[in-house]
Each structure stands twice: as C-alpha cells, then as structure tokens.
Amino acid sequence: MWDYSEKVMDHFMNPRNVGEIPDATVVADVGNITCGDALRLYLKIENERIKDAKFKTFGCASAIASSSMLTEMIKGKTISEASAVTDDDIASQLGGLPEAKMHCSVMGREALEKAISIYRGQAKPPLEEGKIICKCFGVTDNKIREMIRRHDLKTVEEVTHYTKAGGGCGKCKPEIEQILAEVRAEMAKQTTRLSGPMTNLQRIQKIMEVINREIRPSLRLDGGDVEVIDIDNKLVKVGFRGKCVGCHASSVTLRDVVEKRLKELVDPGIMVEEVH
C-alpha cells in the first residue's frame, strides 16, 4: 500500500476538472494507455491566458491526483506563468508523492509542455525527441538525461521512478546504466570545476549555461526569449525578446523564472535586472 498524503487522496477521490472542453484551444496527449499511464489535457486559452483546463487520465491514484492538481495550478495563469510550472511543483502542492510514483508528476509537466508547443505551432518538445531507449514506455535518451540532471538521479531504479524507463521488460537497463554513468560523469566534472569560490569567468559561464539550458527553452514555448546583455559580478542584465517584450507578466517572469533559477543553480546572491 502506497503512503499517500491527504492531498493526494483528496485529489484522487475528488478529482478537479475531469472531462473534456468541447471548444478547447488545444488538446495534448502524453503516455500510452496500452502500456501504462496516459493523460489527455484540454486547455481553453484566451488572450494568452488559460481560462479553463480539464483532463482525462488513465492510471493510478498518483496519476489522477497529479493531473487534477496540475489543472488547478494552471487555470487563470498566462501561458508564460504556466510554462514555469515543474513536476516538482506539482508533487510539492500534493504534499509529496511516493518516490516510485514521481513519473506521474513528470507526465503532468510533459502534457503541459506539449500543449504549449502545439499552441505555439512548434515542434514536439525536446524530451520527446531523441533515441527511444525504453520501448515498453517509449522513453527517449533525452528524457532520461534531463531527469538525471534535474533531479540528481544516481541509480537505474531512481531513473525508473521518474521516467518508467526500465520498468517493463528491463532489457533497456544496460543502456540506462550507460547513460547514467555518462551524465553523472559530466555532472562530476562540472562540480569539480565549480568547487570552491567561483571566479568571475566561471560564474559567467555557469550563468550562460543555465539560461541556455534551463530558462530559454521554457520561454520559447511561450513564443518569447531572453538575452543576456551584461554580467557585472552577481548582477545579470537581460533583455526580453519575442512575446516577452511588453508582456504584463514580464516582471513575474524575471523574478520567478530567470532570477529564481539562477539563484538555485548558480549563486543565491545573483540579482537579475531587465534592460529595455
């Protein structure tokens, strides 16, 4: 028996926003009903704001609860604000999920990312691209690598918890082990380079890496972008591009997306300033 939080049980027994939106602006499907959990997410978008969100989920209590919580979290948000929601945010709002069920919150985040990509008329999300490693659940190497980095995964079992890869026939486990070793080695090298006080050059390199890998892809899903204008010690000056220019939520994006991620992944003392 899984040790579910009260919130998980509440959203499982009384799921919010179940059903279809007949005139949905976009519908996104993730997962596969023939081999595991599946989620269909409906969004009604008006003036770049999510006016309504509904879902249909095939899966366990965690999958239903995660889908329910996701729709509650994104309703009323702008596309830009919603694109900043992570799988960790979903799990946190539910009071936590059993480790073996973390892939359910990941599925919610993937559905949202795919819906925004479809809405923007863009290519399929990066995590869906790449080589299929787990044929049982259709998991790509890109997704496995991203989850290892994002959640600091250390074992094949942990990779399975977050992606389901390796949870079927198990034939892909050697490849997962190899990917895990490669990514962990890359992460170790990065940690070694950044051990001790960072030099200005190291800080600049890390800031650029985080912006290009963690921040820009999220903004581009919304048709926007961000460019680094200058870096003065721990003050980062940026300029918004595309649909982020003049957006009424740009100050929120600056603080809760750009500055927050740089503080988390580079230095808690970093401040970000928009340059017009």
Specify whether 103 is located in the same domain as 136.
no
Q: Residue 189: what residue type? A: K
The CA-based dihedral angle spanning residues 93, 95, 98, 104, taken in that order and rounded to the nearest 10 degrees:
-20
Q: What is the per-residue pLDDT for 128?
A: 59
Look at residue 126 in the predicted model and tell me its pLDDT. 54
- Mark which of 194, 210, 243 sits at the end of a domain: 194
Question: What CATH number corresponds to the domain at position 180?
Answer: 1.10.10.1100
**Residue with more model confidence, 267 or 36:** 267
Q: Is residue 1 part of a domain?
A: no
Domain containing 136 equals: 130-194
pLDDT in tens, 130-168: 788 998 888 889 889 988 988 889 999 999 999 889 988
> Which has the minimum average pLDDT: 34-38, 107-111, 214-218, 266-270?
34-38
Residue 144 lies in a domain: yes
pTM: 0.66
Do 79 and 158 reside in the same domain of the chain? no
Instruction: Say yes or no to pLDDT of 14 above 90.
Output: yes
Q: What is the CATH number of the domain that holds 30?
A: 3.90.1010.10
Total structural domains within the chain:
3
98-111 confidence digits (pLDDT tens): 888 999 999 999 89
37 pLDDT above the threshold of 90? no
- Residue 200 CA to residue 265 CA, distance in Å, equals 16
Q: Do residues 176 and 166 lie in contact, with contact meaning Cβ atoms separated by under 8 Å?
A: yes
107 shares its domain with 165: no
CA–CA distance, 31 with 137 (Å, rounded to integer): 8
Looking at residue 151, its pLDDT comes to 85
Q: What is the pLDDT of residue 219?
A: 78
224 and 256, same domain (yes or no)? yes
Q: Is residue 34 pLDDT above 90, yes or no?
A: no
- Residues that are catalytic: 35, 104
Residue identified by tokens 């006016």 is 51
- Give which of 103, 112, 194 is closest to 150, Cα–Cα: 103
Answer yes or no: do 143 and 50 share one domain.
no
SS (H, E, C) the chain: CCCCCHHHHHHHHCCCCECCCCCCCEEEEEECCCCCCEEEEEEEEECCEEEEEEEEEECCHHHHHHHHHHHHHHCCCEHHHHHCCCHHHHHHHCCCCCHHHHHHHHHHHHHHHHHHHHHCCCCCCHHHCCCEEECCCCEEHHHHHHHHHHHCCCCHHHHHHHHCCCCCCCCCHHHHHHHHHHHHHHHHHHHHHHCCCCCHHHHHHHHHHHHHHHHHHHHHHCCEEEEEEEEECCEEEEEEEECCCCCCCHHHHHHHHHHHHHHHHCCCCCEEEECC
Q: pLDDT at residue 270 above 60?
A: yes
The pLDDT value recorded for residue 177 is 94
The mean pLDDT value of the chain amounts to 86
Whether residue 154 lies inside any domain: the answer is: yes
Q: Which of 87, 119, 151 is the C-terminal boundary of a domain?
A: 119
The reply to whether 16 and 114 lie within a common domain is yes
171-224 residue pLDDT tens: 999 999 999 999 888 887 766 555 567 788 888 888 998 888 888 877 777 678
Tell me: the pLDDT tens digits for 63-96?
Answer: 999 999 999 999 999 988 888 888 888 999 999 9
- Pair 26, 112 in one domain: yes
Is 68 among the domain residues? yes
- CA 204 to chain centroid, in Å, comes to 24
Would residue 125 count as lying in a domain?
no
